[in-house]
Amino acid sequence: MTTVPLASMNLPRHVAIIMDGNGRWAQARDLPRIEGHRRGVSTVRMVTETASELKLDAITLYCLSSENWKRPQAELDFLMQLLQQYLVEERRTIRDQNMRLRFIGRQDRLSDDVTREIAKTQAVCKDNTGTELVLAVDYGGRDELTRATRQLVSQVQSGEITANEITEERLDQTLDTAGLPEVDLMIRTGGDIRISNYLLWQISYAELYFTPKCWPEFEREDFQAALDEFGNRQRRFGGLNVGA
């Protein structure tokens, strides 16, 4: 296995990934769509292990969007089962890699079995100090912003804050990702070139990286290529490069 050269890169603090192309990868091989999701778990393991090795602050994975509920019920049931299985089987690994676990999105539509395993995994990792693994489940950027806005309106109505106290910083701390650094690098696999309602606020200044490779075939070398690309880009945040 190729080893990522840890000392040679200008690394992002926070990487977000849209894990796309599972179903298409399977169908291209005359396999059921759910087999693509199953194979994708090994890619999840690879990127989380790499993020931990590199000591990234956070890695956020788009597991299930709020729009994915439109998919066939059998596929949704399998995805929930796969998530529950992942939480059980990877719990010790996440703990031993000193990773913390956070979920963003809604949990009120998840099964009791899934929410129970979420709580168990978070409990065994609560004292860890390494990379934060963030799983976006039943997540949508617009929904997150709507929920945050409602919370701020409620605080204004109760007199807790005034309307003038609603700043970018306060809104940022009201989002599901409160306390996390802004996303530096957003990766999307599967060939589509769009952000699909993912972390709309948090990727305002992120570098975007798109690859035609589907998620089950996204390997460590591909992750390396995305990190290398990030390291070679000039990030000006609206300003000018020195000497420009």
- Beta carbons within 10 angstroms of residue 107's beta carbon: 13
- Beta carbons within 10 angstroms of residue 181's beta carbon: 14
CB 53 within 8 A of CB 2: no
Distance (Å, whole) CA 94 – CA 110: 22
Query: Residue 134 has which token pair?
Result: 């963030």
CB 75 within 8 A of CB 33: yes
Round the CA-based radius of gyration of the chain to a whole number and report it.
19
What is the per-residue burial (b if ≥16 Cβ within 10 Å, else e) of 199-233? bebbbeebbebbbebbbbbbbbebbbebbeebeee
Residue from 68, 98, 128, 197 carrying the catalytic annotation? 68
Check if 77 is active-site: no
- Beta carbons within 10 angstroms of residue 66's beta carbon: 19
210: which strand partners?
A: 188
Annotated binding site for substrate: 21-25, 33, 37, 65-67, 69, 71, 188, 194-196
Annotated binding site for Mg(2+): 20, 207
Check if 20 is active-site: yes
Residue from 20, 138, 184, 222 carrying the catalytic annotation? 20
Distance (Å, whole) CA 8 – CA 165: 43
For the annotated catalytic residues, the residue numbers are 20, 68
